[in-house]
A and B are shown apart, each in its own frame.
Chain A
């Protein structure tokens, strides 16, 4: 009995701690968002963050998308040929990429690159007093460091996903026409015949949320880091792990919401 109560108390404490953390992150996000409507605006910082995400993540997201499209074509061909349904390969590729794999894989890649970079940049600024220095130089650090990054993440990831969608479909098309002997025109026709605008929009909404989450966790972990270089290292890891898990969990939640409609 006592053991059971102890276990319950421990679980309760962990849940409380998680709730407190979630609340703190939510307040952090709200404060950052409130600066979207309060001048001055730091357009230069937005441009910098946007370039960092869009430009530097493009190669890795592009490669991921191409190979994923190729593998999808091969795998679905193997599977569907058992039911004589090879014709569905193009549909499977385009739907999987636009609805699911484009946003999730791009999100995870960006979490690894950008979540880590944001946490390291802001964490270093924290432990070297640069954030305090901003305050003494008449600059609100949330407005200057966090808000532009959140905005950039929310806008840049959907753009990356558009590219990932196109390249993923191309990867499938390359395998379809050159290896699986589909006619190029037929493959493309069945790709676009079954694709609905809603599929693409669904993916882009997801990716906007993922982009926001990656930037948020990167900024939060960096902003609250302490304890020198080791603290910054910990913040970086925490940012990548937490944003990756959140991406996968939110992916389920958002998919459920879209299906429910």
Chain B
């Protein structure tokens, strides 16, 4: 597969990824390369399968066909134990945070460290304050419960939880959807900051072009189950690809037809 001499393999490589639910095709042969330490932004309409794609990478959804390579190794062919070892190096920020509402913030943030016995409960409360500081939250927040936080604070806590175990790869599913523009800018800034600090590879889903240009090095467009375009995130809006340009400019007329009935 890799004919490019001794160039390192991409951190994440998807080939021919397919997934259908009850006969409805969602992913129809997705090919995507994400270079190590790059930040890739995935664009695509609602329901186009962006979340499904991330969940395939995480092993939460088993694809019907195709390959997912991480560091050059196909994770779909791995034993369960090997796969878990790979997954341990991936962090995920879910679309609505998915914080555990029965646990205080500090247990949420240090959940993975506690689960892996890398830290005891007393140390975890201290560690949580440290990690919360990285996302601009005061130590007092650690004793609150998720329901007591505003939307922006929940996003920050979820971000803190995603980076707590210092992953190599971080996946962000619509990190700024539902936030006001200023909070969105703050979260984007934090994402750029923590990804750079960790030296991680990032894949982010977003609808928002401003966000996409802020957090992405590269961008890719998912449309009708395939990646139809990849290119620099800075070029969004004048890529010359009619599908991407229509999406980026939010125009009603163009190749993308909204299916109002499915």
Seen from chain A, the residues whose Cβ lies within 8 Å of a Cβ on chain B are 40, 121, 124-125, 128-130, 132-133, 135-139
Contacts and interface: CB of A to CB of B under 8 A. Distances in A.
B60 A137 contact: no
Contacts of B100: 125, 130, 133
B145 to A, nearest CB: 14
Interface in B45-103: 55, 58-60, 84, 87-88, 90-92, 94-96, 98-102
Contacts of B101: 124, 130
A130 B98 CA distance: 5
B169 to A, nearest CB: 11
Given A40-B117, A132-B55, 4 more contacts: A129-B94, A130-B101, A137-B111, A137-B112
A130 B87 CA distance: 17
B94 A132 contact: yes
A40 B55 CA distance: 25
B98 A138 contact: no
A133 B94 contact: yes
A151 to B, nearest CB: 18
Given A128-B98, A129-B94, A132-B60, A139 B87 contact: no
A188 B161 CA distance: 60
B182 interface: no
18 contacts: A128-B98, A129-B94, A130-B98, A130-B99, A130-B101, A132-B55, A132-B58, A132-B60, A132-B98, A133-B94, A133-B99, A136-B87, A136-B90, A136-B91, A137-B115, A138-B87, A138-B116, A138-B165
Nearest to B110: A137
A124 B161 CA distance: 20
Secondary structure type dominating chain A contacts: helix
A139 B115 contact: yes
A135 B115 contact: no
A137 B111 CA distance: 7
B30 to A, nearest CB: 20
B111 A139 contact: yes
Contacts of A137: 111-112, 115, 161
Q: Which 7 A-B pairs have the closest CB atoms?
A: A129-B98, A133-B98, A137-B112, A136-B92, A129-B94, A139-B115, A138-B115
Contacts of A125: 100
Contacts of A133: 92, 94, 98-100
Contacts of B59: 135
A146 to B, nearest CB: 15
Contacts of A40: 115, 117
Contacts of B87: 135-136, 138
A121 B100 CA distance: 11
Nearest to B161: A137
A96 B59 CA distance: 52
Interface string B114-127: 01110000000000
B7 to A, nearest CB: 30
B27 to A, nearest CB: 17
Between B59, B112, B117, the greatest number of chain A beta carbons within 10 A of the residue's beta carbon is seen for B112
B204 to A, nearest CB: 16
Contacts of B60: 132, 135-136
B84 A129 contact: no
Contacts of B90: 136
Contacts of B55: 132
A138 B118 CA distance: 12
A128 B102 CA distance: 13
Contacts of B95: 129
A128 B97 CA distance: 8
Contacts of A135: 58-60, 87
A205 to B, nearest CB: 32
A124 B60 CA distance: 18
Nearest to A137: B112
A125 B94 CA distance: 13
A242 to B, nearest CB: 24
A136 B170 CA distance: 11
Contacts of A124: 101
Contacts of A130: 98-101
Nearest to B116: A138
A138 B102 CA distance: 18
A69 B59 CA distance: 54
Nearest to A45: B102
A136 B115 contact: no
B200 to A, nearest CB: 14
A104 B91 CA distance: 47
A138 B96 contact: no
B174 to A, nearest CB: 12
